[in-house]
Amino acid sequence: MQGSRWLRFPPLFLLCPLFLFGDFGLDTRGGQGGSILRVTSLESSGPGSLREALETKGPRIIIFEVGGVIDLGKRHLVITEPFLTLAGQTAPSPGITLIRGELSIRTHDVIIQHIRVRPGDAGEIPGGGWEPDGIQAVGKDAYNIIIDHCSVSWGIDENMDVSGPPFDGPEATSHDVTIRNCIIAEGLYDSTHSEGTHGKGLLVHDFCRNVAIVGNLFAHNYNRNPLFKGGCTGFVANNLIYNPADAILSAAYNDSQWAGREYAAPLSVVVAVGNVALAGNDTQSNMAFIRGKAHKAYYYLDDNVATWQDGAPIPLLEASNPLLDKPPFWLEGYAPLPSDQVVDHILKNAGARPHDRDPIDQRIIQDFLHRRGQVIDSQDDVGGYPATEPVYREFPLPDDQIEAWLEPYLQFSAID
């Protein structure tokens, strides 16, 4: 492509400096030092609502004095004000669940913890264009983001998404995002997406840099478990992927989408260590742990295990992908678990409230333990939207003690 601003197949020593390797967002302190805002209502908007707290300007820490379900009524929550900590762990049992809408992060220095997001089809017609993600980080202002201990299911586009304008280069889109200790499950397959069948797990869109995906359970997503498109840098470690239908981990861009663009389609670089993938009822027989054309990405791979239902190994590579002898970058301070410890760790620690799981997360965990479950088309296939009575409890600490109480939750290790 004459005049393209990037080489199509650059050697790695030229590729890596262009990505400006960073800290994957882990240095953010979110709303540290800001106002303490207390959510006291499960209404979608209005006084005491989560929406009101998210829209408040200035650094802020949001805590909850109510637990239950917030029905967004197809009106998404959009975070545009930076320096935020959303501390779902402060809610009384059963915690906070968002339904019929997505949580969209469009700004920087944001920490989201211990929240469930379950958009579902919201009663829309099949193929009608209702296409929410569960949680997304979108655009050039979306950086220094941590999504930790969340449960996300029933997304129509993806359950999770890190994205922005796909063809405008690395400075135009999201970067430095860490997604850790989450359950990412049951993306709806044949539902209300305008493209028809979908059902995706986690997409990292073109040019999104420094995205870490660590210690998560992916279950019953058709594909994108996860997918990196062109020009991404990703660190994928100690995830458990169960019942992927069409793809486990992949890095691939669409050639036709890049035709005639200012930038030529760039390669992605993915470090994948200590991940475990297990086939389920929907897993196709042509599966490989790494799926994608050989020229789309460089990979560093170590201690990744994938098996069919009978225990036989799933091939590591679908094509002759370029493999690296050494990791070109690393998540600072992270010591990966050996793959034989991953399953036990994730079953104990993943999701919004691992010691107080709601019936949906409990069912997904039981699906894995009993090697059952499947890709679904609607939340109604598995019992429908949750319905719980509101639970109110005044948070027992004064404002000046809340940051110290939350501090252990900001450490990288899982909260047991």
**To 10 degrees, what angle do helices 359-369 and 342-349 make?**
160
pLDDT in tens, 133-170: 999 999 999 999 999 999 999 999 999 999 999 888 88
SS3 331: coil
**Closest among 309, 317, 259, 260 to 285, alpha carbons compared:** 309
φ and ψ at residue 350, rounded to 5 degrees: -80, 150
Question: Do 250 and 268 touch, CB atoms closer than 8 A?
Answer: no
Question: pTM here?
Answer: 0.94
Task: Give the pLDDT score at 300.
Answer: 96
**Closest among 412, 385, 413, 340 to 153, alpha carbons compared:** 385
pLDDT above 90 covers a percentage of the chain that reads 82
Q: What mean pLDDT comes out for the span 272-293? A: 93
Task: Give the pLDDT score at 412.
Answer: 67
SS3 346: helix
**Closest among 81, 100, 93 to 30, alpha carbons compared:** 81
- For residues 198 and 100, give the distance between their C-alpha atoms in angstroms, rounded to a whole number: 18
- Return the minimum-mean-pLDDT range out of 61-70, 172-181, 188-197, 248-257: 248-257
Q: How confident is the model at residue 18 (pLDDT cuts 50, 70, 90)?
A: very low
Residue 414 in this model has a pLDDT that exceeds 70:
no
Q: Can you read off the two tokens belonging to residue 318?
A: 């679908």
pLDDT in tens, 94-116: 999 999 999 999 999 999 999 99
- For residues 232 and 360, give the distance between their C-alpha atoms in angstroms, rounded to a whole number: 32
SS (H, E, C) 114-178: CCEEECCCCCCCCCCCCCCCCEEEECCCCEEEEEECCEEECCCCEEEEEECCCCCCHHHCCEEEE
Could you tell me the CA-to-CA distances from 227 to 93, 224, 257, 335 in Å, in that order? 34, 4, 16, 23
Q: Can you read off the two tokens belonging to residue 261?
A: 């663009």
Domain boundaries, the chain: 15-25+108-391
Could you tell me the CA-to-CA distances from 198 to 28, 131, 177, 205 in Å, in that order? 33, 10, 24, 16
Q: What mean pLDDT comes out for the span 350-362? A: 97
pLDDT in tens, 203-250: 999 999 999 999 999 999 999 999 999 999 999 999 999 999 999 999
Place of tokens 């796909």: 166
Cβ atoms within 10 Å of 9's Cβ, excluding its own: 12
Question: Do 134 and 159 touch, CB atoms closer than 8 A?
Answer: yes
CATH 1.10.10 corresponds to the domain 15-25+108-391: no
**Closest among 159, 67, 151 to 120, alpha carbons compared:** 159
pLDDT in tens, 300-349: 999 999 999 999 999 998 877 789 999 999 999 899 999 999 999 999 99
Task: Give the pLDDT score at 257.
Answer: 83
Task: Give the pLDDT score at 166.
Answer: 86
Which segments of 284-371 does DSSP mark as H helices, in order? 342-349, 359-369
Residue-level length of the chain: 416
